[in-house]
C-alpha cells in the first residue's frame, strides 16, 4: 500500500506538529505523566487515522468499454431516474456512491473516452447525503464520451467535512477507465448519470470498490 500524493504534505506537517507538542509536554509538563501519556496515545491515533485516509491501495482494475466502473470506494446511496439540468437537460439514471471518512477517497474514471465537458463549482458544504448537496455543494462536473458511445456524467461532491476537491482532468483530455481523475479530502460522494437504458448491476446499500465494481452496462 502506498500513501497518496495528496496526503504526503499533510502527513508530514501533522507528524512534525504532534512531535513538537509531545516534546514540549515532556519538557515543561514532566510531573503530569498520566496526561502526557494520554496525549501521546491520542497523537498516535490521530496520525494513524490520517494515514489510513490517504492510503492508496493496489487495485486489480477491470476494464471493458461498455461496463461502467465505480468511480470511488463507498456505498451506493441513490439509484433513481432524475432530470439532469447542467449538461444533458433531460432524464438520466443517477447512481450515487457515498464515501465515509474511512473509505479511500481517490476518484477514478468510470469509463474510457474523451472529456467533452468540465466545470468546477464553488459552493456549500452540506452533508454529502443531503438531497441538495448535488446542486449546492462544492463540486466538479465531468462529461466523458465513452468508447462505447454514450456520454457519461460524473460529479465529485464535497461533504460537510470535505474542504477541498482535487481534479486531474480538463476538456479534451483522453482518459482511461480506472485511472485517477481526482481526490476529495475528508468525506464526500460521487454522482454518476447514465442513459436510461443502461443496465444497472448494483443495489442500494451495496458496498463498492473504485475501479473494480461494475455499476452498470452501457448500451452501445
Pairing mode, if any, of strands 113-121 and 207-208? Answer: unpaired
C-alpha cell of 102?
474511512
Catalytic residue among 133, 134, 146, 188: 188
Model pLDDT for residues 145-162, shown as the tens digit of each residue? 998 889 999 999 886 555
Model pLDDT for residues 5-32, shown as the tens digit of each residue? 777 888 899 899 999 999 988 888 878 8
* Residue 161, H or E segment: none
Model pLDDT for residues 183-198, shown as the tens digit of each residue? 887 668 899 999 999 9
Whole-prediction pTM value? 0.80
Catalytic site residue 146?
Answer: no
C-alpha cell of 46?
490521530
Amino acid at each position: 500500500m502506498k500513501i497518496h500524493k495528496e496526503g504526503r504534505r499533510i502527513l508530514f506537517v501533522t507528524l512534525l506538529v504532534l512531535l513538537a507538542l509531545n516534546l514540549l509536554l515532556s519538557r515543561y509538563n514532566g510531573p503530569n505523566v498520566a496526561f502526557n501519556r494520554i496525549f501521546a496515545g491520542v497523537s498516535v491515533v490521530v496520525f494513524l487515522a490520517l494515514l489510513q485516509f490517504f492510503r492508496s491501495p493496489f487495485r486489480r482494475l477491470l476494464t471493458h468499454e461498455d461496463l461502467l466502473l465505480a468511480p470511488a470506494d463507498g456505498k451506493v446511496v441513490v439509484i433513481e431516474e432524475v432530470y439532469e439540468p447542467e449538461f444533458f437537460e433531460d432524464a438520466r439514471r443517477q447512481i450515487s456512491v457515498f464515501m465515509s471518512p474511512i473509505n479511500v477517497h481517490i476518484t477514478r474514471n468510470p469509463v474510457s473516452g474523451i472529456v467533452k465537458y468540465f466545470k468546477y463549482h464553488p459552493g456549500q458544504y452540506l452533508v454529502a447525503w443531503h438531497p441538495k448537496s448535488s446542486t449546492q455543494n462544492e463540486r466538479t462536473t465531468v462529461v466523458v464520451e465513452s468508447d462505447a458511445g454514450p456520454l457519461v456524467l460524473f460529479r465529485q461532491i464535497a461533504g460537510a467535512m470535505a474542504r477541498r476537491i482535487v481534479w486531474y482532468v480538463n476538456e479534451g483530455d483522453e482518459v482511461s477507465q480506472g485511472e485517477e481523475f481526482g481526490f476529495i479530502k475528508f468525506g464526500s460522494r460521487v454522482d454518476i448519470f447514465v442513459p436510461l437504458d443502461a443496465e444497472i448491476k448494483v443495489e442500494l446499500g451495496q458496498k463498492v470498490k473504485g475501479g473494480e465494481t461494475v455499476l452498470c452496462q452501457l448500451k452501445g
